[in-house]
Structure 1
Amino acid sequence: MESKLNIENLWSLPQKVLFRFFFSYFALFILFKNNGAYPFYGYIQNFFQKVLYDFIPWVGKSILGISYEIKTGPNGSGDTTYDYVLLFTIFCIAIVSCIVWSILDTKRKNYDKLYYWITLAIRFYVGLMLINYGMVKVIQLQFSQPSMYRLTQNYGDSSPMGLAWTFLGFSKGYNMFMGIAEIAAVLLLFRRTLVFGLIITLMTTANVMAVNYFYDVPVKILSTHLFLMSAFLLAHSFGALFQFFFFRKPVVLKDIFKPKFGNITSKIFFGIKAFLLIYALGYGAYSTLESKEKYYGEASKSRMQGLFEIDDFSVKNDSITPDSLKVKPWKYLMISSKQYAQVKYAEGGRGKWYKLNVDSLENKISLTDYRDSTKIFDLKFSKLDSINYQFDGTFTKDTIFVKAKRYEDYRKKFLLTNRGFHWINERPYNR
């Protein structure tokens, strides 16, 4: 019986060599670049990071000859120098591991058991990662609706990533569509639905990867590996799918070999899977909704929330100081939350963010420069009518006077956000 099993599952030399490399590579990637896919894995990852934050910069400087400082720690980008040096290190270790493994393990007939475990790890890595990404799209947290900053920005001044975020965030329906496609990765967690889920996931990750590459979004490494991992899993059934789709031949999909477990072990695995599903779908939805409420809910909004379009801006210089010469005329004052506000200048440019404080009793607002807390706009405001406001106050020793129109629902002011949906269009409305 043993010899028959080995004959039936005899792997070719190229299959074994490729498996050794991909097993090493993907296992190390999941360990070192988990990205929060596995619940509570952060506690384990902290151990690796303490070593890697010293070792990876050393590799970059001593082996790759990188002269500038390699910064560690998260900063919103997944494509930093540190990340690429880490990827190079993982690749090199996987190559060495594959060579040593191939030299020491020459009599192995197959790697069915190891294949099961690595595919299990990849299935849950890709599945849980995409479920998380899908949640923040369905609830429209990742791609929020175009903000005041975007709507008042010159079209040509937006970055490729900013353009993509505006495009993707404009439509709630498209967010829902993308989110459901990514949440469909839940099918990867079940062996019976694995192939069907992989077909969807491969297309979904290919689209995400394309957006990241062609709009310069700094998540290229992760999206590429989600695609590669999906392709690696689907490779098991590629031959049968090729015969079915291109030659119209009836096929039977070969199931992944599964080791036999006792009743207690099987129940433990079932409990772990149930926990992961509940955590990913239940707690994932809860935490995403909680984050949306925190950043975009009513509790985050300011009494003065809205877009203020400046009609008149004047400065009286009570003393000739360097600061007084830096007070530029405003075009917009944008208040989007209780903590932050942004000023855009009449002469153009990117504008400037300020820390915001609103005193509702005294009808005062203060705008504090992020880089220099001594530079503060202290302004008292009064409402002239339903839309017009007046601001009087000081900046250092200068007197500031502002008149502005307030658009509380600022989206009605812009064509992009007030155009709406039309079933019938007699002509293309392309502006």
Structure 2
Amino acid sequence: MDTPVLANSSVWSPLKKLGFRFSFIFILSFILLKNNGTFPLFNIISKPFIALSQQFTPWFAKHILHYQYDYAIFTNGSGDTSYDWVVLLVLFLLALLGSAIWSLLDRKRKNYDIGYYWLTLFIRYYIALMLINYGAIKLTHSQMPAPGLSRLMQPLNEFSPMGLAWTFMGFSKGYNIFVGLVEISAAFLLFRRTLVLGALVTIATSINIMSINYFFDVPVKQLSTALLFLSIFLLLPYLRPLNNFFFKGEPAQLQLLARPVFQKKWLKKGAPWLKIGFIAFVVITQVMGLFSRQKLMDHYFKKSPLYGIYRIEDKNSELYTLPSDWSYLIFEGENQVTIRDRYYKAHYEETRPDTTAKTISLNNFTFDYQVADNGDIVLKKTLEKGVEEIKLIKQNTADFELNKRSFSWIQEYPYNR
């Protein structure tokens, strides 16, 4: 077995060694269970540990903490479930116990220089790959898409804080691209020479992500907080020179993180190529994942053949087929229509327009429909008393205040509506 060595080994204090042991157990176990699709194929390795966690955590919550929640709910679209927070506590307690036992069994060790290097390697790649993943999705404007028709017709008092944040972020493709590029710049962490720069960038990035998650109640608080603290952890050895440079105005030198040297030549020569191959693999899987994601979005978010917002034309006579208080029909998704009544309350119905037979079902009636050249739709339903005809007047979304206002270099007055 080829054991890597460091050219310059140091002697650590007992407190530093204890801190490393705790950090090593806690951080690596967190990464193992909270991979979030970061490391490629890592889900295969973590699968048995996640299964064990899903068995132990509910038991621990019920019998030790006496904390009641729906034990069938694990990590899902929310990363802040009861399960997630109890897991975090379990990992913390295991790290305390594990570091205590480790300290008793390994009291004579002078340092953990090599272990520290491999720990920071996992952390660097974990932060970088996760942010690169999120950044790449933002470049394609697919994490927070532009507000659709239903959003455009939704009054502000119906928005949740998270929905408001998502709509704000999704409105501007340019802003998504900018944020995506900033997140992708976490790639600086993949290289030792740019480690400090990368950590400074990811601290700023994760603070921004945290602020949105905390103040807009986005349920990724735990993970975004972890990104911040892990980024700070990487900077701990550089706090003194950074303080001298930024706050004292003194010259400072950053010591390059020492890398273990393998004794065998084939390992020494193969390590750089392994890194190049891994990064290439990540890039390829990212590109393939973006294409796959786009295909899924095209499949699951198909537009209705009658896509648009329509106002129901007012008539003097009462309608038999549609409620008299219906005001707008919004055809957006393939199989659903959103109805807004005169009080602007939202209703939803399943509907599937038959473009061949030119029929559509609404309010338990099947209508024949015709689309005029200007986009208006005429619905017809044959009843015993005759044919009922309803005109749907298509609204021009380009006239909406949010859509018609574009970027302006010169503004004589603020345009705040």
Judge same fold: TM > 0.5, yes or no.
yes
Measure how far apart 1:366 and its partner are.
Answer: 3.9
SS in 2 for 1:45: helix
CA distance in 1, matches of 2:55, 2:95: 20
Change over 3 Å in CA distance of 1:90–1:376 after alignment to 2: farther
Q: Which residue of 1 aligns with 2:3?
A: none
CA shift, 1:251, in A, is 2.0
Which residue, 291, 316, 319 being the options, matches 2:320? 316
Counterpart in the other structure of 2:309: 307
Aligned partners of 2:227 and 2:147: how far apart in 1? 28
**Aligned residue number for residue 379 of structure 1:** 367
Does residue 1:332 correspond to 2:333, yes or no? no
Structure 1 residue runs of 5 or longer lacking an equivalent are: 318-323, 368-374
Query: d(CA) in 2 for partners of 1:222 and 1:400?
Result: 56
Decide which of 259, 270, 279 is 1:277's aligned counterpart: 279
* Count of aligned pairs: 405
What is the distance in 1 between the residues matched to 2:136 and 2:371?
41
Counterpart selection for 2:353 from 355, 358, 371 = 358
Note closer, same or farther for the CA distance 1:149–1:75 as it changes in structure 2 (3 Å cut). Answer: farther
- 2:279 partner amino acid: L
Aligned amino acid, residue 415 of structure 1: E
Check if 1:418 corresponds to 2:404: yes
Partner Cα separation in structure 2 for residue 299 and residue 237 of structure 1: 48
Cα distance per residue 1:265-313 (max 9 Å; x no partner): 2444334422332233333133224423542589933322222233349
Matching residue of 1:173:
174
One-letter identity of the residue aligned with 1:193: T
**Quick one: higher RCO (CA 8 Å, sep 6+), 1 or 2?**
2
Following superposition, the deviation at residue 122 of structure 1 comes to 0.8
Structure 1 residue 249: Cα displacement: 2.0
> Counterparts of 1:12-411 in structure 2 under 5 Å?
12-261=13-262, 262-296=264-298, 300-312=302-314, 315-316=319-320, 329-352=325-348, 354-366=349-361, 376=364, 378-392=366-380, 402-407=390-395, 410=397
CA-CA distance at 1:204 after TM superposition? 0.5
Once the 2 structures are TM-superposed, how far is the Cα of residue 31 of structure 1 from its aligned partner? 0.7
Once residues 271 and 182 of structure 2 are traced to their aligned partners in structure 1, the CA distance between those partners, rounded to angstroms, is 27
The answer (yes or no) to whether the contact 1:6–1:109 under 8 Å persists in 2 is no
Per the alignment, do residues 358 and 126 of structure 1 end up closer, same or farther by CA in structure 2, a change over 3 Å counting? same
Letter in 2 for 1:417: N
Q: Counterparts of 1:279 and 1:331 in 2: how far apart (Å)?
A: 53
Q: Deviations over 1:353-375 (max 9, x none)?
A: x44422111112346xxxxxxx8
SS at match of 1:302: strand
Which blocks of at least 5 consecutive residues in structure 2 are unaligned?
Answer: 1-5
Q: Distance in 2 between matches of 1:197 and 1:144?
A: 28
Determine helix, strand or coil for the equivalent of 2:367.
strand
Instruction: Quote the residue 1:372 is aligned against.
Output: none
TM-score by length of 1: 0.86
Cα distance in 2 between the residues matched to 1:299 and 1:160: 23
| CA positional deviation for 1:264 | 2.2
Q: Identify if the C-alpha distance between structure 1 residues 84 and 312 changes in structure 2 by more than 3 Å, giving closer, same or farther.
A: farther
The more displaced of 208-217 and 244-253 is 244-253
Q: What is the SS of the residue equivalent to 1:247?
A: coil
Equivalent residues of 1:134, 1:181 under 8 A apart: yes
Compared CA separation, residues 17 and 421, structure 1 to 2 (3 A): same
Range with bigger deviation, 216-225 or 267-276:
267-276
Encode CA deviations 1:330-363: one digit per residue, 9 max, x unaligned: 33322223344433333333432x4442211111
Using the alignment, how far apart are the partners of 1:198 and 1:274 within structure 2?
21
Normalising by the residue count of structure 2, what TM-score does the alignment of the two structures yield?
Answer: 0.89
CA distance in structure 2 between the aligned counterparts of 1:328 and 1:84, rounded to whole angstroms: 49
* Identity within the alignment, %: 38
Does the 8 A contact of 1:341 with 1:355 survive in 2? yes
CA distance in 2, matches of 1:402, 1:75: 44
Distance 1:37 1:9 in 2: 33
The answer to whether the 8 Å contact 1:6/1:110 transfers is no
Contact 2:309-2:330 within 8 A present in 1 as well: yes
Q: Does the 8 Å CA contact 2:301/2:333 hold for their aligned counterparts? A: no
SS in 1 for 2:242: helix
Runs of 4+ in 1 over 4 A off after TM superposition: 5-8, 296-299, 312-315, 399-402
Deviations 1:379-431 (A, max 9, x none): 3322245132122459xxxx986432224x63x13101211111111011111
Contact 2:339 2:346 in 1 (8 A): no
Distance 1:404 1:53, change over 3 A: same
